[in-house]
Amino acid sequence: MEITTVNDVKLLIALLVPLIGTLGVMFMGKNENVREGVSSAASVILLLLVASMVPAVLEGKVLVYHMFTVFNGIEGVTDPLTIKLRADGMSMIFALVASSLWTIAVYYSMGYMRAHQEHAQTRFNACFALAIFGAIGVAFADNLFTMYLFYEVVSVCTYPLVAHAQDKDGYNGAQKYIVYLTTTAKLFLLPALILIYVITGTLDFPTNISDGLFTDGLSSGNIQNWTVIMLYIFCLFGFAKNGVMPFHHWLPGAMVAPTPVSALLHAVAVVKVGVFCTTRTMLYVFGVDTMHALNLGIPTAYFVGFTVIAASVLALSKNNLKERLAYSTISQLSYIILGVALLTPAGIDGGLIHIVNHAFSKITLFFCAGAIMIAHHKKDISQMGGLGKSMPITFACFFIASLSMIGAPPVAGFVTKWNLLVGSIQAHQMGILLILIASTMLNVGYFAPITYKAFFGKRPEGETYQGIQEAPLSMLIPIMIACTISVLIGIFPNFMMQFVKAVTG
């Protein structure tokens, strides 16, 4: 497919919408209806803007927008260091997910925060919008520097969300969160960023996934193999938001946040920023050719395969619903990296599409967990036996979304699993196949009992569920929308698959 680059100011506007939304929220903080109106208006405008870029991207165009030139390169040898935006197939995957889920999450969190009578809702909404600003920036980043910038923006702007409760647990969780994320970013990403710039002279992503930045340097011998391998490892660990073990502890720790934040962290903004950055770097900085040449793909697949299994086993042992979901997230995120690391067309397809599939299904699960919190004020799974009769819609949606996590048809996760299985066969990796099968079993093991017990299990001793009913409509409707989309993208995977195909060609 011929690739044409077009300048488009819409990218800049899309980036600025959440930022302006943040300011609007801050200044309208006095009146909560106006404030929430600003949030939701911003989210809808953002979604429309992103959607308006779809036709051009599907035609094979790459939209770009140049924002700043920080400096014109070193001694004329290197490219300028710039802040630039681009919309291509890969950015659209993430941008569409982030913007559409923001519109849903705004309503949900409005319902949740009001039902809970949470304090500091203005701060909460402002930081929520700022986190989306960072996520959109990451999605549209045209070079590694821009991506790093917005990656850090997300880290800092979500701190107030995690620390929201301002109690001891809140501060501890938030401290863990910020320490893990900034330390890995500074320790690994910063040197990787600068060293890549020094040895390749550029940080700009190429327009296809095969070249990468190192191909010339490696073939001419100017760049040593071990340097590239070191940089690769730095990038894999540096984007610690991807939840790959051993730098995953921040994620369960961040569970202290209010549930809409957990949904945002674990489905949309934060973790997806992590995997998006990781896969973007694998495909557009290192490139499939270099990854093949240095044999980086399969070891990565096995390495994250460990996370897939280990996190699932840990999830089994958790009784707190949000914690179980957190470990499920860690496991599912590694699916994405595993798929891309297989470096086969089906593997990359499966990995990238899972960014979408996991987002919609996991946000449904977290929304349900939040609805249970509001209705029942309980966090533990053992306390939810028989609750399905009082909250049938919530648990039905929970069931459908957990099917997606397991990878059963016709829900979205099936598309992923199918592609990953094909990918691992294409790559002749029986071990990966076994990991995927084992993880599916484990997924069944920790998801199935929740809904089973809710509908058919016994009530806990002395529990009558008197007066417990579904959460308010402002929460229930977002749950149903997210759940429906999870099904729709399972039955009609082609819409999102188009963007994935635009990446793999």
The H or E element spanning position 217 is helix 215-220
Q: From residue 180 to residue 219, what is the string marking binding to other proteins with x (rule CB under 8 A)? A: --xx--xx--xx--xx-xxx--------------------
Is residue 500 within 8 Å of 93, Cβ to Cβ? yes
d(CA 6, CA 14): 16
Position 175 contacts other proteins (CB under 8 A): yes
Tell me which of 152, 211, 463, 470 binds other proteins, using CB under 8 A: 152
Instruction: Work out how close the CB of 120 gets to other proteins at its nearest, in angstroms, rounded to a whole number.
Output: 9
500 bridge partner residues:
none
Position 455 contacts other proteins (CB under 8 A): no
Position 74 contacts other proteins (CB under 8 A): yes
In the complex with other proteins, the residue whose CB is nearer, 174 or 381, is 174
Is residue 354 within 8 Å of 329, Cβ to Cβ? no
Is residue 307 within 8 Å of 327, Cβ to Cβ? no
Position 72 contacts other proteins (CB under 8 A): yes
d(CA 40, CA 53): 20
Size of the site for other proteins (CB under 8 A): 34
Position 145 contacts other proteins (CB under 8 A): yes
Position 456 contacts other proteins (CB under 8 A): no
Select from 385, 415, 388, 384 the least CA-distant residue to 494: 415
d(CA 227, CA 233): 10
Neighbours of 261 (CB within 10 A): 28
- Window contacting other proteins (CB under 8 A); options: 175-183, 238-246, 288-296, 464-472: 175-183
What is the DSSP secondary-structure string of 49-99? HHHHHHHHHHTTEEEEEEEEEEE--STTTSPPEEEEEEE-HHHHHHHHHHH
Position 16 contacts other proteins (CB under 8 A): no
Tell me which of 45, 63, 83, 442 binds other proteins, using CB under 8 A: 83
- Window contacting other proteins (CB under 8 A); options: 50-58, 72-80, 307-315, 368-376: 72-80
- Window contacting other proteins (CB under 8 A); options: 167-175, 297-305, 340-348, 369-377: 167-175
Position 168 contacts other proteins (CB under 8 A): yes
Is residue 273 within 8 Å of 156, Cβ to Cβ? no
Position 473 contacts other proteins (CB under 8 A): no
In the complex with other proteins, the residue whose CB is nearer, 132 or 157, is 157
In this structure, the chain runs to a length of: 505
Instruction: Work out how close the CB of 425 gets to other proteins at its nearest, in angstroms, rounded to a whole number.
Output: 40
Within 8 A by CB and 6+ apart from 417, the residues are 350, 407, 436, 440
Position 52 contacts other proteins (CB under 8 A): no
Position 233 contacts other proteins (CB under 8 A): no
Tell me which of 27, 68, 456, 495 binds other proteins, using CB under 8 A: 68
The angle at the Cα of 356, spanning 352 to 358, to the nearest 5 degrees, equals 100
Position 469 contacts other proteins (CB under 8 A): no
Select from 344, 360, 321 the least CA-distant residue to 98: 360
- With tokens 């993430």, the residue in question is 94
Is residue 409 within 8 Å of 327, Cβ to Cβ? no
17: phi > 0 → left, psi -120 to 50 → alpha, else beta; which?
Answer: alpha
Instruction: Work out how close the CB of 38 gets to other proteins at its nearest, in angstroms, rounded to a whole number.
Output: 18
The H or E element spanning position 213 is none
Position 75 contacts other proteins (CB under 8 A): yes
Tell me which of 225, 227, 383, 498 binds other proteins, using CB under 8 A: 227
In the complex with other proteins, the residue whose CB is nearer, 156 or 480, is 156
Position 149 contacts other proteins (CB under 8 A): yes
Q: Which residues bind other proteins (CB under 8 A)?
A: 68-72, 74-75, 81, 83, 145, 148-149, 152, 156, 163, 166-168, 171, 175, 178-179, 182-183, 186-187, 190-191, 194-195, 197-199, 227
